[in-house]
Amino acid sequence: MTDRSAGLSEIDATVAHPARRYNYWLGGKDHYAADRESGDQLERMFPKVRLGALANRALLRRATRFLAAEAGIRQFLDIGTGLPTADNTHEVAQSVAPESRVVYVDNDPMVMVHARALLTSSPEGRTSYIEADLNDPGAILADRTTRETLDFDQPIALMLIAVLHFIRGNGAAQPIVRELLEALPAGSFLVATHATSDFGTPEQQRLYQQLMDERKTDVWTRPRDEFAELFDGLELVAPGVVPASEWRPEPGAEIPERSDINVWTAVGRKL
Protein backbone atom coordinates (compact mmCIF):
# COMPACT_ATOMS: atom_id res chain seq x y z
CA MET A 1 0.00 0.00 0.00
CA THR A 2 1.58 3.25 -1.10
CA ASP A 3 -1.23 5.79 -0.93
CA ARG A 4 -4.76 6.36 0.27
CA SER A 5 -6.48 5.12 -2.89
CA ALA A 6 -4.42 1.93 -2.90
CA GLY A 7 -5.37 1.17 0.69
CA LEU A 8 -9.05 1.93 0.29
CA SER A 9 -9.30 -0.28 -2.79
CA GLU A 10 -8.59 -3.29 -0.55
CA ILE A 11 -11.41 -2.52 1.91
CA ASP A 12 -14.59 -4.61 1.79
CA ALA A 13 -17.26 -2.28 3.16
CA THR A 14 -19.89 -5.02 3.08
CA VAL A 15 -18.22 -7.10 5.82
CA ALA A 16 -18.03 -5.86 9.40
CA HIS A 17 -14.51 -5.37 10.75
CA PRO A 18 -13.67 -5.30 14.49
CA ALA A 19 -11.58 -2.11 14.25
CA ARG A 20 -14.38 -0.19 12.55
CA ARG A 21 -17.04 -1.60 14.88
CA TYR A 22 -14.92 -0.55 17.86
CA ASN A 23 -14.58 2.91 16.32
CA TYR A 24 -18.38 3.05 16.05
CA TRP A 25 -18.82 2.15 19.72
CA LEU A 26 -16.28 4.82 20.70
CA GLY A 27 -18.22 7.48 18.80
CA GLY A 28 -15.86 7.71 15.83
CA LYS A 29 -16.76 8.34 12.21
CA ASP A 30 -14.74 5.71 10.35
CA HIS A 31 -17.18 2.86 9.87
CA TYR A 32 -19.64 1.46 7.35
CA ALA A 33 -23.22 0.20 7.52
CA ALA A 34 -22.03 -3.39 8.06
CA ASP A 35 -19.94 -2.29 11.05
CA ARG A 36 -22.83 -0.37 12.60
CA GLU A 37 -25.22 -3.27 12.03
CA SER A 38 -22.78 -5.68 13.68
CA GLY A 39 -22.26 -3.32 16.61
CA ASP A 40 -25.98 -2.72 17.09
CA GLN A 41 -26.72 -6.44 16.92
CA LEU A 42 -24.21 -7.22 19.64
CA GLU A 43 -25.46 -4.31 21.72
CA ARG A 44 -29.05 -5.59 21.52
CA MET A 45 -27.93 -8.93 22.92
CA PHE A 46 -25.38 -7.49 25.36
CA PRO A 47 -26.48 -3.92 26.23
CA LYS A 48 -23.30 -3.03 28.14
CA VAL A 49 -20.83 -3.86 25.35
CA ARG A 50 -20.28 -0.19 24.50
CA LEU A 51 -19.35 0.55 28.12
CA GLY A 52 -16.74 -2.17 27.91
CA ALA A 53 -15.25 -0.60 24.80
CA LEU A 54 -15.02 2.80 26.49
CA ALA A 55 -13.45 1.28 29.62
CA ASN A 56 -10.94 -0.56 27.45
CA ARG A 57 -9.91 2.66 25.72
CA ALA A 58 -9.52 4.47 29.03
CA LEU A 59 -7.33 1.61 30.26
CA LEU A 60 -5.04 2.04 27.26
CA ARG A 61 -4.45 5.65 28.26
CA ARG A 62 -3.74 4.82 31.90
CA ALA A 63 -1.47 1.86 31.15
CA THR A 64 0.53 3.80 28.57
CA ARG A 65 0.97 6.69 30.98
CA PHE A 66 2.14 4.28 33.69
CA LEU A 67 4.68 2.69 31.35
CA ALA A 68 6.10 6.00 30.18
CA ALA A 69 5.96 7.94 33.44
CA GLU A 70 6.61 5.28 36.10
CA ALA A 71 8.27 2.35 34.34
CA GLY A 72 10.51 4.42 32.08
CA ILE A 73 9.47 2.64 28.88
CA ARG A 74 10.32 4.49 25.66
CA GLN A 75 9.39 1.85 23.06
CA PHE A 76 5.97 0.42 22.27
CA LEU A 77 4.82 -2.35 19.92
CA ASP A 78 1.06 -1.83 19.62
CA ILE A 79 -0.60 -4.74 17.80
CA GLY A 80 -4.25 -4.43 16.84
CA THR A 81 -4.04 -0.66 16.75
CA GLY A 82 -7.55 0.09 15.61
CA LEU A 83 -8.64 3.31 13.97
CA PRO A 84 -7.09 6.50 15.36
CA THR A 85 -9.14 8.34 17.99
CA ALA A 86 -8.08 10.63 20.82
CA ASP A 87 -5.16 9.74 23.11
CA ASN A 88 -3.52 7.10 20.95
CA THR A 89 -0.54 5.19 22.37
CA HIS A 90 2.12 7.46 20.89
CA GLU A 91 0.27 10.61 21.94
CA VAL A 92 0.07 9.51 25.55
CA ALA A 93 3.64 8.18 25.64
CA GLN A 94 5.16 11.19 23.88
CA SER A 95 3.26 13.61 26.13
CA VAL A 96 5.34 12.10 28.95
CA ALA A 97 8.53 11.32 27.02
CA PRO A 98 8.73 12.99 23.56
CA GLU A 99 11.50 10.60 22.49
CA SER A 100 9.18 7.56 22.70
CA ARG A 101 9.05 5.29 19.64
CA VAL A 102 5.94 3.37 18.61
CA VAL A 103 5.22 0.73 15.99
CA TYR A 104 1.54 0.28 15.21
CA VAL A 105 0.37 -3.01 13.68
CA ASP A 106 -3.03 -3.80 12.18
CA ASN A 107 -4.44 -5.97 9.42
CA ASP A 108 -7.18 -3.59 8.25
CA PRO A 109 -6.19 -1.42 5.24
CA MET A 110 -8.45 1.38 6.47
CA VAL A 111 -6.57 1.50 9.76
CA MET A 112 -3.25 1.87 7.98
CA VAL A 113 -4.57 4.56 5.64
CA HIS A 114 -5.79 6.64 8.55
CA ALA A 115 -2.76 5.88 10.70
CA ARG A 116 -0.33 7.14 8.09
CA ALA A 117 -2.42 10.26 7.58
CA LEU A 118 -3.21 11.13 11.18
CA LEU A 119 -0.72 9.56 13.60
CA THR A 120 2.23 11.91 13.43
CA SER A 121 5.13 11.63 15.85
CA SER A 122 6.81 14.22 18.00
CA PRO A 123 10.05 15.51 16.43
CA GLU A 124 12.11 13.72 19.08
CA GLY A 125 10.40 10.34 18.74
CA ARG A 126 9.18 8.12 15.94
CA THR A 127 5.86 6.54 14.95
CA SER A 128 5.74 3.77 12.34
CA TYR A 129 3.03 1.49 10.95
CA ILE A 130 2.97 -1.95 9.41
CA GLU A 131 0.10 -3.96 7.97
CA ALA A 132 0.37 -7.43 9.47
CA ASP A 133 -1.64 -10.05 11.32
CA LEU A 134 -1.32 -11.11 14.95
CA ASN A 135 -1.65 -14.72 13.78
CA ASP A 136 1.83 -14.37 12.25
CA PRO A 137 3.97 -12.92 15.07
CA GLY A 138 7.18 -13.88 13.30
CA ALA A 139 6.35 -11.58 10.40
CA ILE A 140 5.67 -8.69 12.79
CA LEU A 141 8.97 -9.20 14.60
CA ALA A 142 10.97 -9.60 11.40
CA ASP A 143 9.44 -6.65 9.58
CA ARG A 144 12.04 -4.12 8.48
CA THR A 145 10.03 -1.20 9.83
CA THR A 146 9.69 -2.86 13.22
CA ARG A 147 13.44 -3.45 13.43
CA GLU A 148 14.34 0.04 12.22
CA THR A 149 12.01 1.74 14.70
CA LEU A 150 12.55 -0.34 17.84
CA ASP A 151 15.80 -1.35 19.54
CA PHE A 152 15.33 -4.96 20.67
CA ASP A 153 18.25 -4.62 23.08
CA GLN A 154 16.18 -2.17 25.15
CA PRO A 155 12.85 -2.77 26.94
CA ILE A 156 9.72 -2.67 24.81
CA ALA A 157 6.07 -2.54 25.86
CA LEU A 158 4.00 -5.09 23.97
CA MET A 159 0.46 -3.68 23.77
CA LEU A 160 -2.25 -6.25 23.01
CA ILE A 161 -5.34 -4.20 23.68
CA ALA A 162 -8.65 -5.87 22.80
CA VAL A 163 -7.05 -7.99 20.08
CA LEU A 164 -6.33 -11.43 21.54
CA HIS A 165 -10.03 -12.28 21.67
CA PHE A 166 -9.99 -12.42 17.85
CA ILE A 167 -7.77 -15.51 18.12
CA ARG A 168 -10.23 -18.41 18.12
CA GLY A 169 -9.79 -21.56 20.16
CA ASN A 170 -8.98 -22.65 23.68
CA GLY A 171 -5.32 -22.00 24.41
CA ALA A 172 -4.73 -20.52 20.95
CA ALA A 173 -3.59 -17.09 22.14
CA GLN A 174 -0.82 -18.24 24.47
CA PRO A 175 1.74 -19.46 21.88
CA ILE A 176 1.38 -16.20 19.96
CA VAL A 177 2.03 -14.14 23.08
CA ARG A 178 4.94 -16.42 24.04
CA GLU A 179 6.62 -15.95 20.66
CA LEU A 180 6.31 -12.18 20.88
CA LEU A 181 7.58 -12.01 24.46
CA GLU A 182 10.54 -14.29 23.77
CA ALA A 183 11.83 -11.73 21.28
CA LEU A 184 11.79 -8.92 23.86
CA PRO A 185 14.57 -8.24 26.38
CA ALA A 186 14.27 -8.32 30.16
CA GLY A 187 12.52 -5.27 31.53
CA SER A 188 9.93 -5.33 28.76
CA PHE A 189 6.21 -5.25 29.57
CA LEU A 190 3.07 -6.96 28.35
CA VAL A 191 -0.20 -5.03 28.50
CA ALA A 192 -3.29 -6.98 27.49
CA THR A 193 -7.04 -6.67 27.69
CA HIS A 194 -9.48 -9.39 26.76
CA ALA A 195 -13.24 -9.82 26.48
CA THR A 196 -14.75 -12.32 28.89
CA SER A 197 -18.11 -13.87 29.70
CA ASP A 198 -17.13 -14.41 33.33
CA PHE A 199 -19.45 -11.73 34.67
CA GLY A 200 -22.50 -12.53 32.56
CA THR A 201 -25.58 -14.27 33.84
CA PRO A 202 -25.82 -18.01 33.12
CA GLU A 203 -28.28 -17.18 30.34
CA GLN A 204 -25.88 -14.66 28.79
CA GLN A 205 -22.99 -17.10 29.05
CA ARG A 206 -25.00 -19.83 27.29
CA LEU A 207 -26.07 -17.38 24.59
CA TYR A 208 -22.55 -16.22 23.92
CA GLN A 209 -21.15 -19.75 23.87
CA GLN A 210 -23.78 -20.60 21.28
CA LEU A 211 -22.74 -17.59 19.18
CA MET A 212 -19.11 -18.74 19.32
CA ASP A 213 -19.99 -22.32 18.47
CA GLU A 214 -22.04 -21.17 15.48
CA ARG A 215 -19.36 -18.68 14.41
CA LYS A 216 -21.81 -15.82 14.64
CA THR A 217 -19.35 -13.66 16.55
CA ASP A 218 -15.72 -12.82 15.85
CA VAL A 219 -14.93 -12.34 19.56
CA TRP A 220 -13.71 -15.48 21.35
CA THR A 221 -14.14 -14.75 25.05
CA ARG A 222 -11.81 -16.33 27.59
CA PRO A 223 -12.14 -16.92 31.35
CA ARG A 224 -9.85 -15.33 33.91
CA ASP A 225 -7.61 -18.37 34.34
CA GLU A 226 -6.83 -18.66 30.63
CA PHE A 227 -6.21 -14.92 30.37
CA ALA A 228 -3.94 -14.98 33.44
CA GLU A 229 -1.85 -17.77 31.88
CA LEU A 230 -0.71 -15.28 29.24
CA PHE A 231 1.33 -13.63 32.00
CA ASP A 232 3.02 -16.80 33.28
CA GLY A 233 6.65 -16.03 34.09
CA LEU A 234 6.05 -12.28 34.22
CA GLU A 235 5.96 -10.07 37.29
CA LEU A 236 2.41 -8.74 37.51
CA VAL A 237 2.03 -5.04 38.21
CA ALA A 238 -0.46 -4.28 41.00
CA PRO A 239 -3.40 -4.70 41.13
CA GLY A 240 -2.87 -7.80 38.99
CA VAL A 241 -5.61 -9.33 36.85
CA VAL A 242 -8.70 -7.15 37.17
CA PRO A 243 -11.46 -5.71 34.98
CA ALA A 244 -10.32 -2.79 32.82
CA SER A 245 -12.07 -0.18 34.94
CA GLU A 246 -10.33 -1.43 38.10
CA TRP A 247 -6.72 -1.23 36.88
CA ARG A 248 -5.29 1.88 38.56
CA PRO A 249 -8.41 4.02 38.06
CA GLU A 250 -8.19 7.78 38.15
CA PRO A 251 -8.70 9.25 41.64
CA GLY A 252 -12.39 9.64 42.34
CA ALA A 253 -13.43 7.63 39.29
CA GLU A 254 -16.72 5.77 39.58
CA ILE A 255 -16.12 2.04 39.21
CA PRO A 256 -18.94 0.31 37.29
CA GLU A 257 -20.25 -3.15 37.98
CA ARG A 258 -18.02 -5.87 36.59
CA SER A 259 -20.94 -7.16 34.53
CA ASP A 260 -20.97 -3.77 32.75
CA ILE A 261 -17.37 -4.12 31.58
CA ASN A 262 -16.60 -7.79 30.83
CA VAL A 263 -12.96 -7.04 29.97
CA TRP A 264 -10.00 -8.55 31.84
CA THR A 265 -6.82 -6.49 32.10
CA ALA A 266 -3.27 -7.06 33.33
CA VAL A 267 0.21 -5.58 33.01
CA GLY A 268 3.29 -7.73 33.51
CA ARG A 269 7.04 -7.16 33.44
CA LYS A 270 9.49 -9.62 31.89
CA LEU A 271 12.19 -10.55 34.36
**pLDDT value for 83:** 66
- What is the CA 107 to chain-centroid distance, rounded? 13
Outline where 100-162 has alpha helix (H).
Answer: 109-118, 137-142, 144-149
Half-sphere exposure of 10 (CA within 13 A, CB side): 14
Task: Return the pLDDT at 109.
Answer: 75
Q: State residue 252 phi and psi, 5-degree precision.
A: 80, 0
pLDDT of res. 39: 67
For the domain 4-270, what is the CATH superfamily, name and number? Answer: Vaccinia Virus protein VP39 (3.40.50.150)
Contact 79, 156 (CB under 8 A): no
- Compute the distance between CA of residue 54 and CA of residue 26 in angstroms, rounded to an integer: 6
Q: Taking the model in full, what pTM does it have?
A: 0.86
Amino acid 117: pLDDT: 65
| 3-class state of residue 245 by DSSP | helix
SS3 65: helix
pLDDT (0 to 100) of residue 5? 33
Mean pLDDT per 10-residue run, the chain (271 residues)?
36 76 72 79 73 87 98 97 76 96 87 68 88 96 97 98 94 98 98 94 89 87 97 98 97 90 96 97
Q: What are phi and psi of 243, to 5 degrees?
A: -60, 155
Domain extents in the chain: 4-270
